[in-house]
Amino acid sequence: MKRNLFAACALFALLSGTLAQKPNILLIISDDLNTRIGPYMEIVRHTPSLDRLAAEGIRFTRAYCQFPLCGPSRASLMSGLHPETNGILENIDRPGSYRVENPALSDHPSLAGFFREKGYYTARVSKIYHMGVPGGIEQGAPGGDDPDSWDYAYNVLGPETNSQGTLELLSPGNLHYGSNFSRMILKDGLELTQADYLATSQAIAILENRAGKLPLQGSNKHKEKAEAPFFLALGLVRPHVPFIAPENCYEPYHENAVQLPPVEIGDNVPEQALRRQNMKIWKMSEIQKKQTISAYMASVRFMDQQVGRVLDALDRLDLREETIVIFISDHGYNLGEHDCWSKVSLWEGSVRVPLIISYPGNKRMHGTTCETITELIDLYPTLTALCGLSEEQPAVLQGKSLAGYIKDNKALDEDTYAYTISYGGEGASVRTPNWRYTRWGEDVMEGNEELYDHHTDPEETINLAKQADKQDVLTEMRGILESSRRKARVKMGIAPE
């Protein structure tokens, strides 16, 4: 009876264009996923579950990470702070890592920790902060998790390279599993042994538990948590290497049908921008490049199947209308553009991420897109706003709320920009609606700048930094980068100079 009353209230709220003050939150984070997915490209039947989610929400088409590497990016989005602020500039597998790196943040709650403080039941399943894949997940390790964030945390123990199949090395120049390219085609049915399948099953079990909302034995605190809204974070490790997926996921992407991206590199591109080129690290042949892309796409398809399973569970358990669903990746991924591969680079393909937010409270925005420049650090203030908690959020958050675009149909904002660093801060890049500016090193020096016009050159092939008629733009972009860098490097409690 109580649950039916809640559902009726939720339905009334939806019809009136609002949502309950404390909706549930389901955050799904994929690993190493670029925007070569259905909601962002015309790839028929590639990611049907993500297509479905985009049809039930708003798709942010120009969203960017703060660091194209798993550990710094995840610590950044979960803390709501730039990597230079929280001190995580590399992959660190240490619990409470950003609190340790910056003691001034010892009392700063993570995104999940904030909602826990506000009475939410919070749960983590698998990789939300950095975790070795492979290298840690086979041991069920927590990686760099933040234990204070969760009422319940579940570390998946997955077989990875020990799975029942033939592991094929595709990058003879790099033998380190975790950064090289390798693939495994599983027999259909063996996907049940994989980390993402196991993680999704556990997430569904948590949803079953929350949907029941049965009184728990014990203290009043436990009973309150049983009735509380939930914040569930589900980490899916694919398409992170090794590329492991069942046969049915490989079938649509035969390696012989793969088209390699054209490689166009201007003669004035700084060498620092080209460190991830094939022959410098992986030494793949042409067929191995095609096999790598094929295996990546198959892994994406397998990940998408898991998203579909958890969305089905939300519908089956009548939780969908009272749950905000967010899908993101920790960063993008290059698959041969500029002859660069994997992450870490500061090209558009390696820093742009998918960001889909499904908010049941404003169905007028379902199936729409927002082209405003957004960042992963915007997620923290966005969720506090959608849940009516903006006034209580930490004052130190560095992102901006996107709630206006989601709830109030706010128009495109042309004044926003995104700031991303890499290689510990050696490289820094800013993206505005029209331009990308990247600098290698602290100061302007001969040959260490890149400037790309995204109206005419979305693939970033022509570096305009030395063109006489672009010097006014270059000066403006330098100023945006310097301003962003000062803000990101502020020490907690000390104003920037």
pLDDT digits (tens, 9 = 90+) for 408-465: 888 889 999 999 999 999 999 999 999 999 999 999 999 999 999 999 999 999 999 9
What are the CA-CA distances from residue 170 to residues 158, 274, 339 (Å)? 22, 21, 16
- The average pLDDT across 125-142 equals 92
Residue identified by tokens 């398809």 is 301
Q: What is the pLDDT of residues 378-412, one digit of tens each?
A: 999 999 999 999 999 999 999 999 999 999 888 88
- The average pLDDT across 31-54 equals 90
Question: Model confidence at 10, in pLDDT bands (50, 70, 90)?
Answer: very low
Residue 428 lies inside a defined structural domain of this protein: no
Residue 458 lies inside a defined structural domain of this protein: no
- Three-state DSSP class for 429? strand
Residue 40 has a pLDDT of: 85
The predicted model scores a pTM of 0.94
- How many Å apart are CA 295 and CA 249, to the nearest integer? 9
The residue segments making up the domain with residue 238 are 22-415
Q: How many domains is the chain built from?
A: 1
CATH code, 107: 3.40.720.10
Is residue 50 over pLDDT 70?
yes
Would residue 424 be called left, alpha or beta, if left means φ above 0 and alpha means ψ between -120 and 50 degrees?
left
Residue 459: Cβ-neighbour burial (10 angstroms; 0-12, 13-18, 19+): middle
Is residue 93 over pLDDT 80?
yes
Residue 110 lies inside a defined structural domain of this protein: yes
Residue 492 lies inside a defined structural domain of this protein: no
H-state helical runs in 80-215: 83-86, 97-101, 111-117, 195-212
Residue 440 lies inside a defined structural domain of this protein: no
Residue 481 lies inside a defined structural domain of this protein: no
Residue 1 lies inside a defined structural domain of this protein: no
- Three-state DSSP class for 191? helix
Q: What is the pLDDT of residues 355-386, one digit of tens each?
A: 999 999 888 999 999 999 999 999 999 999 99
Residue 463 lies inside a defined structural domain of this protein: no
Sequence-ordered list of residues with C-beta below 8 angstroms from that of 36, at least 6 positions apart, any chain: 43, 297, 300, 335
Q: What is the pLDDT of residues 148-164, one digit of tens each?
A: 999 999 999 999 999 99
- How many Å apart are CA 462 and CA 433, to the nearest integer? 17
Is residue 490 over pLDDT 90?
no
Is residue 94 over pLDDT 50?
yes
Question: Model confidence at 223, in pLDDT bands (50, 70, 90)?
Answer: low
As a 3-state breakdown, the chain gives helix, strand, coil percent values, each rounded to 5, of 40, 15, 45
Three-state secondary structure of 465-494? CCCHHHHHHHHHHHHHHHHHHHHHCCCCCC
Lowest-pLDDT range of 91-100, 118-127, 190-199, 315-324: 91-100
